[in-house]
Structure 1
């Protein structure tokens, strides 16, 4: 069913859990997996940290065709910029499933801080799996 699964990660527990779920789905469907990470500035130190995050994630995955992407996001656009960059990258890669970790915030906390996952739902047409930690 799914041939190309895309996941954007950070270093949160939500992302680690979502990566585990995405990996399991990719193994079941024998799909390609693209792991992406966003950085705010395109400096050498930022790139190095971003690449380390991707390599650390990639190291825990066996027997899958894996691609990694480092996405540079302009800080001035906040969550909208991050979600737009992820959406554009997933569309360019022709993903048919986007897996996103989410914190499941509620109430005023969600109202004021928003959610990259919530923004992605508005911007992408492929299937989206939101992964929450209970």
Structure 2
């Protein structure tokens, strides 16, 4: 079930070649940071978001399925989660977690349908 969280929803209109680095990221209840890195690989698409001072300068990893809209003109990415849901996601450490299948499974469960960690869409 978690593999689907690593793909953009078919309703998200964006050009696959668009570099999202630097785009602002908006949760359902406000700004959560800027895209620091992203992947568009099929089945492995995600955003690494630098939260700045909001979560004490930490980064978060958001699966592509959390994206509901990309506004290329405004340079904004909108996600279907609240700030609290993003803040409560499993902790992310770039050097440790980017290639870690176990972490991806945990994050996929959190953000996926029926998430036991409270990651249900808002």
Higher relative CO (CA 8 A, sep ≥ 6), structure 1 or 2?
1
Task: Give the TM-score normalised by the residue count of structure 1.
Answer: 0.25
Task: Give the TM-score normalised by the residue count of structure 2.
Answer: 0.27
From the CA coordinates, give the structure whose radius of gyration is larger. Answer: 1
